Amino acid sequence: MASMQEIKRRIRAVTNTSQITKAMEMVSATKMRRSQEIALLSRPYAIEALRMLVYLEKKTPYRPEIMRARDIRHTLVVVIASDKGLAGSFNTNIIRAFEKRIIDETKGSPESFSFVAVGKKAEEFLERKKLNRVASFKNFGDHVEVEETEALFQFVIRGFLWKKWDRVLVVSTHFRTTLRQEVLVREILPVRGDTIWSTVRELVPEAGRFSGFSQMVTAHDPEHGHTDDFEYLIEPDAQSVLEVLAPAIFEILIYDLILEANASEHSARMVAMKNASENAGELKEGLLLQFNKIRQARITQEIAEIVGGAEALQKN
């Protein structure tokens, strides 16, 4: 049986751990809400840009290079994970989804796939699997700015325009609720208005503080058109505007995917730290109970020894 001194040390260690996990839970909750807020505040811009894209597609048959489908000879896969651990099953779920969907596709022709890692955990996984990793992007931070994703955006779009790859897939986490995240494999290049619009709708959480944004997104669905009586004034022409607008919308998509992955990561870490805090509390209660039992046993033993000694003196 452990000594009282050893149990005291364990109680202090569990208490310290509980304080750390509780602090991490609160920090992750704040970061998760902030990531959600930043992502959703960009919705009005994204929605209006998409409406304009739908409008322009009807005005001209021309399509920029990034909107043209090709015969798929080479595919780029972007894997978005985290830079840090202690996020529960967040990274594990991403790896499982990747292995279930992508690994099977690569078995037939592995040379037709290239991979980009976003986050240290994604980089370590691709290195471990010895896959063709062509780039890595790390340390985006907890609250990503558009400028921080510029390097990733330029790398992906230039490779597509230079025909290094004919389509781009992203393996990332879709934030549904605080307690539920889902790993999705989405095709982001070539750019298609319907694909991006579905991503915009997916970025609105199903429940919680920001769930009300779903009404705003539905009301401004680009397929429904404008309710106001006006039309766009396009200068110089629809073709020129499309050449600029399509890459801008794709950059928004990249940025939103990173923000959504961040929100999912912070949510997963918050839940993991909450569970850790609860487990630490239960462990502490068990140790306190064990400590009190040992102390009571010692007190009882000492009383018995005193009574026994007193009785021995009386007999003498």
pLDDT digits (tens, 9 = 90+) for 1-60: 567 788 888 888 888 888 888 888 888 888 878 877 776 676 667 767 777 777 787 778
237-280 pLDDT, tens digit each: 888 888 888 888 888 888 888 888 888 888 888 888 888 888 88
Question: Residue 77: what pLDDT?
Answer: 93
Q: Tell me the C-alpha distance between 36 and 27, whole Å.
A: 14
How far is Cα 27 from Cα 249, in angstroms, rounded to an integer? 32
Instruction: Give the 3-state secondary structure of residue 189.
Output: strand
**pLDDT tens-digit series, residues 87-129:** 888 899 999 988 888 877 777 677 889 999 999 999 999 999 8
- pTM comes to 0.79
Residue 202 within any structural domain of the chain? yes
One-letter identity of residue 49: A
**Residue 294 belongs to a domain:** no
CA distances 267 to 24, 94, 262, 274, Å, are 11, 15, 8, 11
Comparison of pLDDT for 52 and 133, the residue scoring more: 133
- Band of pLDDT at residue 79, cut at 50, 70 and 90: very high
- Is the predicted pLDDT of residue 229 greater than 60, yes or no? no
- Structure tokens belonging to residue 247: 């890459």
Please choose, from the candidates 215, 239, 173, 189, the residue with its C-alpha nearest in 3D space to the C-alpha of residue 69: 189
CATH number at residue 145: 3.40.1380.10
Q: Is residue 180 part of a domain?
A: yes
Report if residue 175 sits inside a domain: yes
Residue located via tokens 């290239």: 114
Number of domains in the chain: 1
Q: In whole angstroms, what is the distance from residue 294 CA to residue 7 CA? A: 10
Greater confidence (197 vs 213) lies with 197
At 208, the pLDDT band (50, 70, 90 cuts) reads low
User: Span 172-180, mean pLDDT?
Assistant: 79
140 domain-assigned:
yes
In the three-class reduction of DSSP (H, G, I as helix; E, B as strand; rest coil), residue 170 is classed as: strand
| Within-domain flag for 167 | yes
pLDDT score for 213: 52
Domain range for 121: 33-266
Q: Does some domain include residue 285?
A: no
Proportion of the chain in helix, strand, coil states, percent, rounded to 5: 65, 10, 25
113-118: strand order across its sheet: 133-137, 113-118, 75-80, 167-177, 180-189
Q: Structure tokens of 267?
A: 């949510």
DSSP state string for 26-88: HHHHHHHHHHHHHHHHTHHHHHHHHHHHHHHHHH-S---GGG-----S-EEEEEE--SS---T
Residue 72 lies in a domain: yes
- Residue 136: φ, ψ to 5°: -135, 140
**pLDDT, tens only, 272-284:** 888 888 888 888 8
Q: For 284-304, write each residue's pLDDT tens digit.
A: 888 888 888 888 888 888 888
Query: Cα separations (Å) of 246 from 63, 69, 74, 195, 219?
Result: 9, 14, 22, 13, 23
